[in-house]
Structure formats: C-alpha cells, structure tokens
C-alpha cells in the first residue's frame, strides 16, 4: 500500500546572485510497513526533502502525494488537514509548544486529527519513559526527554507516515534502543517511517537506505 510518494522534486534557494539547488529531481515511494533511513552528508538536502514531504515547504518543481492525494500546491488548509490526518512530523526545530505540558501537546496533536484516546496517551508516555514528565513543560525537559516527547507527540495521532529528522540525536544508547523497538512495532502495524539520520546504529535497523548527495538520491 502506498503511503507517501514524491515525483521529481526540485527546490531552489536564491540569495543575491547565488542559486543553491537543494533538490534535483528526487522521486521516492514509501510503502506500508517500510522503515527507511535517509542518509547523506550535511547540506545534501535531507531537511529540505523532509520539509517538502511534510508539506511544510513547497517544492519548486514536482509534487508530493500522501495516501494517494496530491499535497503540493494545494491551499494551506488542505495541506494542514492532510498533515494532521496522516503524517507524524518531527523536525529539528521541534514540534512541542512550550506553554503546553507534554500531555497537552499530545492531546492537541490528536484533536487536530479528530482523535481523542486517553489510553493511547498513557501508553505512548509509558513506552517513551515519560510518565513522570507528563505534566512538565518542554523547557523543563532534558535533551533526551525532549527528543522522546517530540516523538510521542509525532506518534500520538497514529499517523500513517512518520517523518523524523535525527530523532535520536540527543538520546543515549538505551533510549535509542527503546525508540527503535517502538518504531519497529509501528511499522508492523502498517505505518511507514522515514528517518533522516547520521546514526549508523539507527540506519542499520532500517529495511531500506536512501542515500542523498547534492540533492539527488544516489542509492536506494
């Protein structure tokens, strides 16, 4: 089952005379139950690609389909609805509102997708080892706790596709193992996962590696 597809994505950045081509014709397809790692050197286009796939950035050429529905160049409200309904997103800028508790951040994400499920919140908090931090605000969390809270929020609406940029950058090896096990279970339950990472441990657990270099997929 197709979850997410990109067709010939291009993204250009202009500053004065200079033009940077961040994406040069990237096409990919994520199927249900796939756990894919996106790896590439710094500046190769990973964050730009994830932002385009998430509908947070618009490609200059090509388009993205989520669950078979085109998302690119649709009105903001359409993109936001597709995102809330189908995608879990964890970018490096974070996905937590600082004035809301961890638990309230999760509930907000669920309500945007039209869901409300107390047990799911409890379960995710437990899996992520955040039961004691449920009423904490993001600025009170350690780096590792914040990373796990971001993932708990991204997963709270049971998304069809999880898009995450370096989700374990600040966590220790034990926590990374816990997170991996949980992501693996989610995959088996029909979700697809795309993670941009520098962690070879994380990449080694993926079913599929996508290598990006200079805005092109060089290996799949």
Residues in contact with ligand ADP by CB under 6 A are 1, 13, 15, 20, 22, 32, 40, 42-48, 158-160, 189-191
CB 135 to ligand ADP: min, Å: 27
CB 115 to ligand ADP: min, Å: 11
Calpha distance 210→118 (Å, rounded)? 36
CB 31 to ligand ADP: min, Å: 9
CB 69 to ligand ADP: min, Å: 12
At 23, give phi and psi (nearest 5°).
-130, 130
Query: Quick one: tokens of 196?
Result: 């941009």
Q: Which is nearer to ligand ADP, 109 or 133 (CB)?
A: 109
CB 159 within 8 A of CB 192: no
Q: Which is nearer to ligand ADP, 14 or 132 (CB)?
A: 14
Q: Which is nearer to ligand ADP, 141 or 163 (CB)?
A: 163
Q: Which is nearer to ligand ADP, 140 or 218 (CB)?
A: 218
Nearest in space to 196 (alpha carbons), one of 212, 207, 182: 212
Buried b (16+ CB within 10 A) or exposed e, 78-94: ebebbbbbbbbbbbeee
Nearest in space to 89 (alpha carbons), one of 22, 151, 39: 151
CB 160 to ligand ADP: min, Å: 4
Q: Which is nearer to ligand ADP, 44 or 156 (CB)?
A: 44
């Amino acid at each position: 089952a197709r979850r997410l597809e990109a067709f010939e994505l291009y993204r250009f950045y202009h500053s004065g005379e200079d033009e940077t081509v961040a994406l040069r014709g990237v096409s990919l397809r994520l199927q249900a139950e796939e756990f894919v790692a996106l790896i590439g050197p710094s500046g190769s286009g990973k964050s730009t690609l994830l932002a385009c796939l998430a509908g947070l950035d618009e490609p200059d050429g090509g388009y993205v389909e989520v669950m078979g529905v085109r998302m690119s160049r649709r009105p903001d409200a359409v993109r936001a609805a597709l995102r809330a309904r189908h995608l879990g997103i964890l970018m490096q800028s974070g996905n937590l509102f600082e004035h809301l508790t961890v638990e309230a951040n999760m509930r907000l994400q669920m309500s945007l997708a039209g869901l409300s499920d107390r047990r799911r919140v409890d379960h995710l908090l437990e899996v992520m080892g955040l039961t004691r931090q449920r009423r904490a605000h993001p600025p009170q969390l350690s780096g590792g706790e914040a990373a796990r809270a971001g993932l708990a929020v991204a997963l709270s609406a049971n998304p069809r596709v999880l898009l995450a940029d370096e989700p374990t950058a600040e966590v220790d090896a034990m926590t990374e193992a816990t997170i991996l096990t949980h992501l693996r279970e989610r995959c088996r339950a029909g979700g697809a996962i795309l993670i941009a990472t520098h962690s070879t441990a994380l990449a080694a657990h993926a079913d599929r590696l996508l290598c990006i270099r200079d805005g092109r997929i060089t290996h799949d």
